[in-house]
Amino acid sequence: MDQLTQLAQQIRACRRCVDAPLAAPLPHEPRPVLRVSTTARILVAGQAPGVRVHASGVPFDDRSGDRLRDWMNVDRATFYDEARIAIVPMGFCFPGLDAKGSDLPPRPECQRLWHDDLMRALPQVELILLIGRYAQLYHLARLGYANFDRKMTEHVENWRHLSQSSPKIFPLPHPSWRNTGWIKRNPWFENDVLPALKHEIAGILL
């Protein structure tokens, strides 16, 4: 069994956030969600599964996923072909809801226990989509970028520089429909960032 397969099995069996949590225990049974392979050259680094993904076990199996696939210009079959695209959220399980009914932040146990080893087991990745601030903070720090703790908008604005790195990086807002206002206020995202992102993805998936 290769290292990546072993890691993925251990992550899918993980119960740390229930049995030995760093904060309040996860309020439901864990259901870690990720898709990885030794051949995927694109990594979708997200935040954490939502309630619908917790029920289905399929990442981005919701309206946010529809928008993300549109941003990438890929169909569902391609998006879920883990031989080509890996999907690794910062929190592998649905973290639960806060008092206002919004998703809680990704569980801290996942990053501390698994992410460094998991990234080392994915050396073939050429393009990383950093979806949302939590993924941006971790991966930009991991890859040695200065000023990695900027606000999400500043990270996305820096896409030209980051897309020339190795691996290439595209910071993105979360594709939640709650961010429609942000997209409207920042037309450069659809006009400049998304065409470049689609071009990069098309070149890798040829």
Closest CA to 128 of 204, 57, 185: 204
Q: What is the pLDDT of residue 6?
A: 96
Q: What is the pLDDT of residue 80?
A: 98
Considering only residues 13 and 150, tell me which one the structure prediction assigns the higher pLDDT: 13
Under CATH, which architecture does the 3-205 domain have? Answer: 3-Layer(aba) Sandwich (3.40)
CB atoms within 10 A of CB 158: 17
Q: What is the pLDDT of residue 195?
A: 98
Taking the C-alpha atoms of residue 29 and residue 12, their distance in angstroms, rounded to an integer, is: 12
Q: What is the pLDDT of residue 180?
A: 96
Examine the pLDDT at 1 and tell me if it is beyond 80: no
CB atoms within 10 A of CB 69: 17
pLDDT 10s digits, 159-191: 999 999 999 999 999 999 889 999 999 999 999
Residue by residue, DSSP assigns 46-93 as -S---HHHHHH--TT-SHHHHHHHHHHT--HHHHT-TTTEEE--SSSS
SS3 128: strand
Closest CA to 129 of 185, 92, 89, 187: 89
Over the chain, what is the mean pLDDT? 95
pLDDT 10s digits, 61-101: 999 999 999 999 999 999 999 999 999 999 999 999 988 88
Q: What is the pLDDT of residue 148?
A: 81
- Establish whether the linkage from the previous residue to 89 is cis, with ω within 30° of 0: no
pLDDT 10s digits, 100-126: 888 899 999 999 999 999 999 999 999
149 falls in which pLDDT band (50, 70, 90)?
A: confident
Q: What is the pLDDT of residue 43?
A: 98
